[in-house]
Amino acid sequence: MHCGRLRGNSRNRPFSFKMVIDFHAHFYPEKVAAKALAVCAARIPAWSDGTRSGLEASMREAGIDLAVGLTVVNAPGNSTNINAWAVRENRRPLIMTGGIHPDEPEPLRTIETVAAAGLPGIKVHPEYQHFRFDEERLFPVWERCEELGLFVVTHAGWDAMFDSPCRGTPEKLAEFHRRFPGVKLILAHLGGLAMWDDVEKYLTGLPVYLDLAMASPDYIEADRLLRIIRAHGAGRILFGTDSPWYGQKEQLGFIRSLPLSPAEQEQIFHRNAAELLRLP
């Protein structure tokens, strides 16, 4: 375990804390990784091969010590298998989330299994899984997550793979937070990919976490990103890359190039994630 030094980038001083955590990464089982990447290739090209070993190699190259592997259940009948896979893969340097599918027959049972297996949270995706956060049929799901202390990570905003209208807008996500203020909510993509006006209007300052996946130069200017981080407070911002859909080294370099204080860097790259993951 190295000490958070970003190799190969002399512009940035070494970190003064022990561990850089990427809160938003993906990989796929060996057998399906190539296919998963090929399906998306026309709209969004990949930066690694989509396997666990590819992710770990990318982390070593970037100087990232720990990553959260976000798992999305792709069909109602697949949650048992996908969560069992996540539990098997839940070993350093990766910490896995579990998942539910909103249309599965017993999502509460699935959530209990995820919690009992020691996974820290679940990931959901309103576009990919075709649901809305204001659907009453799912309220017990969020209540159970709160009771069991599982965080809920959700995709937020536009997604290259899906056409509008978008279900997970900053406005809708703010509404969801107000309905379930006790749920530890983590909004990917800074609360709403490519919907930055609405992020600033509806989300900044609310007690929800925003991750930095895809908050990269292709999607947001550095000035605006810094303004959102400061308006929201670095205490609820999580470093994330969306690997393999963006480069970990590139995203780490971009966020490190922002004029953040050492204390803000420590929160964003390490402390906030460590607290959510209950690391010692």
Residue (198 or 242) nearer to Zn ion, CB: 242
Residue 112: CB minimum distance to Zn ion, A: 25
Q: How many residues bind Zn ion (CB under 5 A)?
A: 1
Residue 100: CB minimum distance to Zn ion, A: 17
Residue 242 touches Zn ion, criterion: CB under 5 A: yes
Residue 124: CB minimum distance to Zn ion, A: 12
Residue 12: CB minimum distance to Zn ion, A: 25
Residue (4 or 69) nearer to Zn ion, CB: 69
Handedness of CA 208, 212, 215, 221 (dihedral sign): positive
Distance CA 79, CA 208 (A): 26
Please spell the DSSP secondary structure of 125-164, one letter per residue.
-TTTTT--TT-GGGHHHHHHHHHHT-EEEE--B--TTSPS
Q: Which listed range, 49-57, 171-179, 190-198, 240-248, lies at the site for Zn ion (CB under 5 A)? A: 240-248
Residue (144 or 167) nearer to Zn ion, CB: 167
Amino acid found at 17: F
Q: Which listed range, 42-50, 190-198, 235-243, 263-271, lies at the site for Zn ion (CB under 5 A)? A: 235-243
Distance CA 4, CA 213 (A): 19
Q: Which listed range, 73-81, 110-118, 129-137, 234-242, lies at the site for Zn ion (CB under 5 A)? A: 234-242
Residue 266 touches Zn ion, criterion: CB under 5 A: no
Residue 70: CB minimum distance to Zn ion, A: 6
DSSP for residue 215: -
Q: Which residue is nearest to Zn ion (CB)?
A: 242
Residue 188: CB minimum distance to Zn ion, A: 6
Distance CA 40, CA 37 (A): 5
Could you tell me if 211 and 189 are in contact, meaning their C-beta atoms sit under 8 angstroms apart? yes
Q: What are phi and psi of 19, to 5 degrees?
A: -145, 130
Could you tell me if 256 and 13 are in contact, meaning their C-beta atoms sit under 8 angstroms apart? no
Q: Which listed range, 83-91, 114-122, 201-209, 238-246, lies at the site for Zn ion (CB under 5 A)? A: 238-246
Residue (206 or 213) nearer to Zn ion, CB: 213
Distance CA 21, CA 19 (A): 6
Q: Which residues bind Zn ion (CB under 5 A)?
A: 242
